[in-house]
A and B are shown apart, each in its own frame.
Chain A
Amino acid sequence: MENLMTACCSECTHSPSQPCPDYIKCRTEGPICHDSEACRQKRQQLMDKVQVSPDKPHRRVLVCAGTGCISSGSRDVYNRMEAAVKEAGIDDCEVSITGCHGFCEQGPIVIIEPEGIFYGGVGADDVEEIVEKQLKNGEPVERLLYTEPTSGEKDKYYRDIMFYKKQERMVLKNCGHINPEKIDEYIITGGYRGLVKALTEYKPEEVIEEVKTSGLRGRGGGGFPTGLKWQFTAQAEGDQKYVVCNADEGDPGAFMDRSILEGNPHSVIEGMIIAGYAVGANEGYVYVRAEYPLAIKRLEIAIAQAEQYGILGDNIFDSGFSFKLRIKAGAGAFVCGEETALLNSIQGERGMPRVRPPFPANKGLWGKPTLLNNVETYANVPIIMEHGGRWYASRGTEKSKGTKVFALTGKVNNTGLAEVPMGITLREIIFDIGGGIKEGKQFKAVQIGGPSGGCLPAEKLDLPIDYDSLIDAGAMMGSGGLVVMDETTCMVDLARFFLTFTQNESCGKCTPCREGTKRMLEILTRITEGEGKEGDIETLERLAKSVKNTALCGLGQTAPNPILSTLRYFRDEYKAHIEKKWCPAGVCSALTVYKIDPDKCKGCTKCAKVCPVSAIKGEPKEVHEIDPEVCTKCGTCMENCKFEAIYKG
């Protein structure tokens, strides 16, 4: 028996060519087709190697092999670690790769289990020390432990790190703890139980009922009730139906879907098979961004393994239900994440949205009823099937159940993926999980929901977040991007930044989005360049309203959100730019002037010497002055003044 999925002895009758409802049970609790203590022990041993615990001898050294950690050098760490452990002759210790922990800035990350010790920033040169101290003598390598940004204290254990403490990791639970390239690790840790339950104990409509009871809503943006969507697809008439997974993940900064696919691909596959069973589809597609080669590779491996063991294919677990899954690499446009553009793209057409209705549930891929959900949505399904819809619905808020993964970035101390229960406040995410604002600066605003989302100010920090509260506040859940901004961010510039993105990504099909985003961006650019005119705010508002009201797809309908929300909460900043020709945050270079504080200037002449255009005049030991007419606002003087006498204002 090389692994858990293969036969334990010649008596074992379970194999993928002989599908059986007890297949998974036999592999994890069995054997049940025959009775043999020796076989049971063999299986238990294999499981113990993955599910390590302090009262058993096995240990695991988990080296993160997510995209983030690989790019900071974790492959070398893994290779060195494997060699070093072997060389040191440490028994019962397996070195394994895992998917992403969502804390990539700490990478490469190495975890020692069962203790749960967390090492960050591990280089290949640190490996020997870890082996020597930690693995041989049980002493931690202090310098590689994580330091809390707020208290300055070191955390030895994963579970103590503030970044993880307030999280509730359900979907991401296994990410970072199992080897995503081995199906048996997924199964040992509870995988495919939901599928077995669905196929053997539930009728398709009962599965839909369970998902409805759970209150799960789409994690891809709109928050549409998942069970209802499944019901519509199940009820739609059609000889052929499809299940599609949206893994296009185009929101800049969001990487939860990638992490799930890289770290726990089987959870998505399991969710999709259950969905196929529920709606009556035998074929599925996963549409993955082509820029995610590792996610595609891991998904390919996972699909091949699931096929090998009869979890994908004909007559799964002898249920009579068959399911095939294919991967389609994305076409490299943000709009291809929009569901109808995505379907066109799978069909080999230009990724332009279609008019809805008809919705994909009725007319989707090649005109057939199609269920389309997001990666994270599917990854929630096995959890719901395993624990029940009622259990799932007990988490979260009244109308938003379960958890949501956010991608926390910007001016916070801890950036990364945070899975939190619905209803948590922004303050908890930003200040507890995120460890507060960098360099002790002031929080100013947070952009939620990516380029289509909105920007919320400090007054909204205590808002319990769910789908509906965010919409009311002028933002949206979107895919879960959270960009934190401090006092040094200019809100007009921010709106300009997001509009640059949406304008670039407009597919060009409909007039309001194609032409309207261009004009809004032009006006914003003018304002940030000091060319703002009276009436610009009103024109922006009027345009924003019309584009929102008339655009064909979600891209155009939400593109004005960053403008509308910054206008709602930071209107004065726009006015300052236009009327006073002044950028309060000191970001828009055309609207800032460099000044010398006479109280701080010592007359050292340094600034005058470094200024490339000789804009600074002053006698040695006397207060210097900058000629704003000559100054090109390059900022060199400010960088060079030892007395911090130069400021922008």
Chain B
Amino acid sequence: MSDKVTLTIDGQQVTVPAGTTVLQAARMAGIEIPTLCHDPELTSPGACRLCVVEIEGMRNLPASCVTTAGDGMVVRTNSPDVIEARKTIIELLLANHPEDCLTCERTGQCRLQEYAYHYGVKGDTFHGERKQFPIDDSNPFIVRDMNKCIRCGKCVRVCEEVQGRSIYSFAYRGFDTIPATAMDTPLAESECVFCGSCVSVCPTGALTEKMMHGVGRSWELEKVKTTCPYCGVGCNFDLNVKDGKVVGVTSNAEAEVNGRALCVKGRFGYNFIHHPDRLTKPLIKKNGEFQEATWEEAINLVAEKFKEIKQEHGPDALAVFTSARCTNEENYLANKFARAVLGTNNIDHCARL
């Protein structure tokens, strides 16, 4: 068997490695196919059916994300039948979706909104029942609004396949189906560790970062890629900055070490940055009270005291303990400082924060 296959997509010849899906092949050829449930890092359930295409000789319209490209295949990604089917699917999703894009946290980043716009679909084709779920606001980090869920199942899969927690699975059936925790309890009562991976993959406003509600529109936020200060793994993510202030953290899919995965601290533990209790200037206790001082004053005072202790009690009366938030370079310096400057081997590090 040859390890390459050549197929025709929208009249264009494409040669791809055997085993490539039609969706990947199209993307390699620069042809965009809309997807909602597909995610390159997760298994493909072929559930949303938005990525359907027409393939000569095949019955119905196969989903391109789960159809393997075959040699000689003739694929059309934008025939009238395909466009009509996609429009119908979007219409059907909108028919069971609250029309509150105006205030929805995901506006501007929502895949459903994007495709509805692209295909010119309005939300008023079908007038029927809309599911009404209470919003799960039970925890400090994640807001779950199942009214906005399109049942793509990405949250289910990312939690199982990447995070390994399997907090969600689909519950109920048919029109009532939703991704739910065990026994359909609020997230706070589940075994969720609030890593927020599910939030990072949700294509709609069904799962959102609670602390980012109302702090700014996606297009107003500047994304600054940085390394997480919490532990030595070195995860990367984007600080979301507005008017010089960090207002949130979102995954950066390009992050080399961690991809979109983060832990609760990295993703949600950024409040300290602008916290009023945070120390930003050195303080020296004078007459029993802390008073602001300059760095020079403070460092001189500490150096003096170190010298005194060393003279009176010897260098081993001193010890250095570095923070888990120190980088390798900082730790190296601390090590030099302890051994070469203070003259002690008493140095340690707290492994976790």
Question: What CA separation (Å) do A542 and B170 show in the bound complex?
Answer: 29
Quick one: closest B residue to A516, CB to CB? B92
Q: Are A550 and B92 in contact (CB under 8 A)?
A: no
B117 within 8 A of A: no
**Interface check A518, CB cutoff 8 A:** yes
> Judging by beta carbons under 8 Å apart, are A552 and B49 in contact?
yes
Contacting residues, chain A, for B125 (C-beta < 8 A): 539
A508 engages B174 (CB within 8 Å): yes
Q: What is the interface of chain A mostly: helix, strand, loop, or mixed?
A: helix
- A509 B61 Cβ-Cβ under 8 A: no
Contact A515 B49 (CB under 8 A): no
Across-interface contacts of A18 in B (CB, < 8 A): none
Inter-subunit contact A508/B49 (CB<8 Å): no
Q: Which residue of A lies closest to B176 (CB)?
A: A508
Q: How large is the interface on A (under 10, 10 to 19, 20 to 34, 35 or more residues)?
A: 35 or more
B46: Cβ under 8 A from any A Cβ: yes
Q: Are A518 and B129 in contact, with the CB atoms below 8 A?
A: yes
Set B68, B85, B93, B173: member contacting A550, Cβ < 8 A: B85
B260 at the interface (CB under 8 A from A): no
Distance from B97 Cβ to chain A, minimum over Cβ atoms (Å): 10
Q: How far is the CB of B174 from chain A (nearest CB, A)?
A: 4
Cβ of B169 to closest chain A Cβ, rounded Å: 7
A515–B150 CA distance with the chains assembled, in angstroms: 10
Against A, the Cβ 8 Å flags (1 = close, 0 = not) of B48-83 are 111010000000110100101000000000000100
A512 touching B92, Cβ below 8 Å: yes
A549 interfacial by beta-carbon distance below 8 Å: yes
**Could you say which residues of chain B place their CB within 8 Å of the CB of A333?**
173
A526-561 vs B, Cβ < 8 Å mask (1 yes, 0 no): 000000000000010011011111111000010000
Known contacts A352-B170, A508-B170; A515/B46 CB under 8 A: no
Task: Knowing A514-B151, A550-B52, A550-B60, say if A509 contacts B93 (CB, 8 Å).
Answer: no
Within the assembled complex, what's the spacing in Å between the Cα atoms of A543 and B85?
Answer: 9
- Among B66, B85, B96, contact of A549 (Cβ-Cβ < 8 Å): B85
Q: Is B292 part of the binding interface, using a Cβ–Cβ cutoff of 8 Å? A: no
Report if A507 contacts B (CB, 8 A): yes
**Chain B, 30-47, CB within 8 A of any chain A CB:** 44-47
Partner of B47, one of A517, A539, A552, A557: A552
Within 8 A of A (CB), among B333-350: none
B128 touches A518 (CB 8 A): yes
Q: Is the CB of A511 within 8 A of B93?
A: yes
- Asked if A511 contacts B89 (CB within 8 A), the reply is yes
Write the nearest CB–CB distance from A333 to chain B, whole angstroms.
7
Task: Report yes or no: B126 in contact with A522, Cβ–Cβ below 8 A.
Answer: yes
Bound Cα distance A522, B45 (Å): 28
- In the bound complex, how far is the Cα of B129 from the Cα of A432, in angstroms? 46
Chain B, range 105-161, C-beta contacts under 8 Å to A: 125-126, 128-129, 150-151, 153
Known: A350-B170, A504-B174. A510 touches B92 (CB 8 A): no
Whether A74 sits at the interface, judged by CB under 8 Å, is no
Pick the contact of B49: A357, A505, A506, A511 (CB < 8 A): A511
Q: Chain B contacts of A350 at CB under 8 A? A: 169-170
Distance between B45 CB and nearest chain A CB, rounded to angstroms: 7
- Determine if B173 and A515 form an interchain contact, defined as CB atoms under 8 angstroms apart: no
Is A508 in contact with B172, judged by CB distance below 8 angstroms? yes
**B84: interface (CB < 8 Å):** yes
Q: If A546-B89, A549-B61, A550-B85 touch, does A511 touch B174 (CB 8 Å cutoff)?
A: no
Q: Say whether, besides A522-B128, A549-B81, A510 and B49 are in contact (CB < 8 Å).
A: yes
Distance in angstroms from A584 CB to nearest chain B CB is 26
Q: Mark A317-360, 1 if CB is under 8 A from B, else 0.
A: 00000000000000001010000000000000010100101000
Is the beta-carbon distance between B173 and A506 smaller than 8 angstroms? yes
CA–CA, A516 and B93, complex, Å: 9
| Shortest Cβ distance from residue B168 to the other chain A in the assembled complex, whole angstroms | 12
Q: Which residue of B46, B150, B175, B176 has the most chain A CB atoms within 10 A of its CB atom?
A: B175
Q: Are B175 and A355 in contact (CB under 8 A)?
A: no
Chain A nearest CB, measured from B64 CB (Å) = 12
6 A-B residue pairs with CB within 8 Å: A355-B44, A503-B175, A509-B47, A514-B175, A515-B175, A522-B129
Q: B residues near A, CB below 8 A?
A: 44-50, 52, 60-61, 63, 66, 68, 81, 84-85, 88-89, 92-93, 95-96, 125-126, 128-129, 150-151, 153, 169-170, 172-177
Which residues in A have some Cβ–Cβ distance to B below 8 Å? 333, 335, 350, 352, 355, 357, 503-512, 514-519, 522, 539, 542-543, 545-552, 557
Instruction: Report, nearest first, the 7 A-B pairs whose CB atoms are least far apart.
Output: A508-B177, A515-B92, A546-B88, A506-B174, A355-B46, A522-B128, A355-B66
